[in-house]
Amino acid sequence: MDENKFFREITLRICSSLNLQRASERTLAYIREVMPADCLHLGLYDPDINVVRVLAHICPGHWPTVPKTLTLPKGAMARVIQAWRSEPKFGVRNTFSDEEPDVRTMTRMLFAEHVSLLHTDLELENRRIGVLVLAAEGENRYREEHARLMSLLNEPFAIAMANTLQYQETVRLKEMLEDDNRYLSTELRHASGDTIIGADFGLKGVMQMIRQVAPLESPVLLLGETGTGKELLANALHAASPRREGAFVKVNCGGLPESLLDSELFGHEKGAFTGASSQKRGRFERASGGTLFLDEIGELPLAAQVKLLRVLQHGEIERVGGTQTITVDVRIISATHRNLEEMVAQGLFREDLWYRLNVFPIMIPPLRQRPQDIPALVDFLIARKSREMKLAKKVRLAPGTFDQLSRYAWPGNVRELQNLVERSLIQGRTTAAGELSLDLAPGLTPPVRESNPTQPILPFDEAAARHIRTALAHTGGKLIGPGGAAELLGLHPSTLRGKMRKLNIANHRSHRTDR
């Protein structure tokens, strides 16, 4: 047998797959053409727990079934430990009549009776890797020439085994990372609050829209003032979608420097720019299979808007400094407190991108429009902050405080209310009875307007229609832009148009004039 050809053919087959069992099957099929071989066994001894891990075992069907791990018999343990610590060797064993009973027991766990064995210890870079055994039915099947060929298998099998072990460890760490990601995502949802306060009252309409769009793949645009809980609602939308097992990746478009925006969104290749010492995946790649939340999308520069539009149209990205096109599968949820329609009119936001994002807009009402949610929000915030501050005494709100809170405009919305609760707890504004006083700063509480008993009370729709007509008359029919009716009424233009359609209010001013 040409030893160089034998080594080359064996190396090609054992390195053909990271699945060691499949590669060993291909290798055994070739070895059978050269020498007797009914079985190939690759084992790894774990000295910490005294077991043998079976990495590959190919044998006839009537031979013993071998589990993934083998517990060593006590009598064989010392022999295996001694062999593991000694110099690597290879050899032939054509009979087992002179073996110790425990060693024969271990051999019978792996092979049939009356077999001949060829074995070699696998070592790589002075480190013991495992053992390779060939077995053939019958006694005295192997000769010294077979042993010489067997010695050639040490290096390719040792490399293949080391690569497989490294690959298995990488897969294990990847699975751990994915499991940790799922766990941390769950913890994040718990930390943010699984229960959305006001879901059955002030946010009832919003939650109904989220339930409608969550099972779909449509982009969602969350609109609302700062502090209204846009990120919390985006998280709830992701958790209710079929992508809930995927990643939920957040990008604060206003918090990234323009020079690093492309790298953060799309990633970069090694050496793409100074400081790029390794390849980096961007947020789109990390969110593939899940949801990407683009917070404060209105802060995105025009140059980045063009690249974002391409991703939304084609589902493809290119890393900075790279030429390979990478396909990504993400669902886009965007949010802003700015008026994107007005920004489009001013040339600050691309119209085509706005139409891509504005498939399903959801307007989140500010806190001043849902005062019925304030009691539940205050109770929730007091309980959470009390736990964080480890307050033993149960705290409740002082009588009359809710009336004061409901009259305040809350320009910072829920975030401002949260800061007020935390500040009051820090300052210790609690009585001996555990009552907490949430005193707003002087002059911030607007005066209560007394109702005029002589003025008739109109039905809500009629009063709303009259109010909108008054605003339109005041602006000369202008809907959007500075001084428009939407700005005067504190409404998003889309919301105002919807109310006008519902109330049958016609606006005769043309679209061009409106802009």
Q: pLDDT digit string (tens) for 61-113?
A: 888 888 888 776 665 656 655 555 555 555 566 555 555 565 667 777 888 88
Residue 321 has a pLDDT of: 86
Residue 223 has a pLDDT of: 94
Residue 211 has a pLDDT of: 93
CB distance 140 to 95 below 8 Å: yes
Mean local confidence (pLDDT), 155-171: 84
Residue 351 has a pLDDT of: 92
Q: How far apart are CA 411 and CA 405, in angstroms?
A: 12
Mean local confidence (pLDDT), 110-131: 79
Model confidence at 402, pLDDT cuts 50, 70, 90, reads confident
Give residue-wise pLDDT tens across range 463-505.
888 888 888 877 778 888 877 888 888 788 888 888 888 888 8
Model confidence at 39, pLDDT cuts 50, 70, 90, reads very high
Residue 237 has a pLDDT of: 93
Residue 491 has a pLDDT of: 84
Task: Assess whether pLDDT exceeds 90 at residue 119.
Answer: no
Q: How far apart are CA 510 and CA 468, in angstroms?
A: 17
Residue 225 has a pLDDT of: 92
Question: What does the block give as tokens for 169?
Answer: 């460890």
Give residue-wise pLDDT tens across range 364-376.
999 999 989 998 8
The H or E element that residue 119 is part of is: strand 115-124
Task: Assess whether pLDDT exceeds 90 at residue 271.
Answer: no
Model confidence at 509, pLDDT cuts 50, 70, 90, reads low
Query: How far is Cα of residue 436 from the mean position of the Cα atoms in its chain?
Result: 40
**396 bridge partner residues:** 435
Query: How far is Cα of residue 225 from the mean position of the Cα atoms in its chain?
Result: 27
Tell me which of 135 and 104 has the higher pLDDT. Answer: 135
Highest mean pLDDT among 112-116, 217-221, 378-382, 458-462: 217-221
Residue 512 has a pLDDT of: 40
Type of residue at 406? S
Is pTM beyond 0.85? Reply is: no
CB distance 359 to 333 below 8 Å: no
Which residue pairs from 438-441 have beta carbons closer than 8 angstroms and sit at least 24 positions apart in sequence?
Answer: 438/378, 438/397, 438/398, 438/401, 438/404, 438/405, 440/404, 440/405, 440/408
Q: How far apart are CA 25 and CA 23, in angstroms?
A: 5
Question: What does the block give as tokens for 439?
Answer: 């005193």
CB distance 478 to 485 below 8 Å: yes
Report helix, strand or coil for 221: strand
Give residue-wise pLDDT tens across range 417-473.
999 888 888 887 666 667 777 766 544 544 443 444 445 667 777 888 888 888 887
